[in-house]
Structure formats: structure tokens, C-alpha cells
Amino acid sequence: MTRTKICGLTREDDLDAAVAAGADMVGFVCGVPIETPRELAPDRAATLGERVPEGVTSVLVTMPETPEAGAALAERVDPDAIQVHDYSPDEVAALADRTDARVLAGVDAADDDLEQYANPADALVLDSTDEQGAGGTGETHDWERARAVVADLDVPVLLAGGLTPENVAEAVRTVEPFGVDVSSGTERAGGVKDHAAIQQFVERATAPRTVTT
């Protein structure tokens, strides 16, 4: 079944709604050098992370200047996984050497060198990124290309970028990713989630579908 990640959580009741909806992963944005309504202080990310129940993966989404800084932030927040954006494959490997958390590489779906991330990363987050390499853009990308990436790479791929309750079923059908990742598409205001949208997103991403041969 397609895994789901609800990202950019900033409030306890939104986190609880994501867990109640059946999300497999929940994400907290902390330490990114861009303007985003989802940014949390490290202590706040740690507090929300402590609330994540067993069986749900907590993900720290960040853009640390160095792998050492990323490992230090992971130590402070204590997530199950750390998702880094705008990192080279070597930086992902250096971070993985320095942390016990699983490492997710947030990459631009249009990049040509994605196979180089397959070894150092535990998973890829195939996103639409801005000029600083950050995600959370609310923009979709080429899903046919994403499908080819999923088929070619021997690493789990989470599809991200502009997903919503309205388009997630088609995204899953087209790309057949390991999982789907959403942030702004489940918000009612910046950093504040719409609980009905979270529930619809998870339901539509995970609904059984007929396989055609």
C-alpha cells in the first residue's frame, strides 16, 4: 500500500489529526533558510516529535549548512528520519555517517543525477524545488518523468510537490511511488492544517486500485 507523509505540522491537534487519519510519516520543518509558515524552533520540533506514537515515523525536514550541523540538529530533535534538501550525494553520505536517523534526500525531480543518491539515502523525496533547493512550493512536476525515476532507482521514492486530496489518486496511479508527501495541499492557512483534507488525502492515496496489465 502507498505510504503517506503529512508534512509541515506545527500544532498538536494537526499532528493528532494526521495520526488519526492513518499517516505513516509526519514531518516537522526546522532550520530552513527560507521564509515558510511551517518553520519550527528545534525545541518545538522536539516537543511535537515526542508526541508521535510508535509505528508512525517522525521526520525532521531541514536544510543544514553542513552534515555536521544536520547531525547536531537531529541529535537535538531526535526524529526517526531526517530529510535534507539541497544536498549533494556526498553530503547525504556524510550526514548518514553521523546520525542514527534514516536519511531522506529531498531532490528536484528534474535533476539528472538522481541515481547517485540511491546508495547514501534511505529514500528520496522527489519534489519541485525553488531556486534555493527548498520544497513546500505547492507546485507539481512531470509525473511521467517521476514514474521513470521510480522504476529506474533501487531506493524507495516519496512523490512530493503540489499534491492535494484532489490529485493524489491520479498521482499514485501514474507514478506508483513508494509513498506520497504533502504539505501545503492539506493546509487551510499557512502552517495550519485542514483536518478533512488530511483525511481525504490519506484515504485517496491508499485506496485499493485495480492493477491493469
CA distance 84 to 60: 8
Nearer to ligand LGQLAAA5, 125 or 197 (CB): 125
From residue 32, how far is each of 39, 55, 86, 101, 146 by CA, in Å?
7, 27, 11, 18, 25
Looking at residue 68, its amino acid is E
Q: Which of 30, 45, 123, 125 binds ligand LGQLAAA5 (CB under 6 A)?
A: 125
Cell digits for 98? Answer: 553521523
The 145-174 contact track toward ligand LGQLAAA5, x by CB under 6 A, reads ---------------xxxx-----------
Contacts with ligand LGQLAAA5: how many residues (CB under 6 A)? 27
Looking at residue 179, its amino acid is G
Contact between 136 and ligand LGQLAAA5 (CB under 6 A)? Answer: yes
CB 118 within 8 A of CB 87: no
Contact between 8 and ligand LGQLAAA5 (CB under 6 A)? Answer: yes
From residue 22, how far is each of 2, 77, 97, 131, 173 by CA, in Å?
12, 23, 31, 33, 20
Q: Which of 56, 134, 149, 202 binds ligand LGQLAAA5 (CB under 6 A)?
A: 134
CA distance 4 to 201: 9
For ligand LGQLAAA5, the binding residues in 34-63 under the rule CB under 6 A are 34, 36, 38, 61
Nearer to ligand LGQLAAA5, 134 or 210 (CB): 134
Nearer to ligand LGQLAAA5, 53 or 190 (CB): 190
Q: What is the nearest approach in angstroms of ligand LGQLAAA5 to the Cβ of residue 164?
A: 8
Q: What is the nearest approach in angstroms of ligand LGQLAAA5 to the Cβ of residue 211?
A: 26
Q: Which of 57, 184, 199, 206 binds ligand LGQLAAA5 (CB under 6 A)?
A: 184
CA distance 58 to 56: 6
From residue 55, how far is each of 21, 22, 81, 84, 132 by CA, in Å?
14, 10, 13, 22, 33
**Residues at the site binding ligand LGQLAAA5, with contacts judged by CB under 6 A:** 7-8, 27, 29, 32, 34, 36, 38, 61, 85, 106, 125, 127, 134-138, 160-163, 181-185
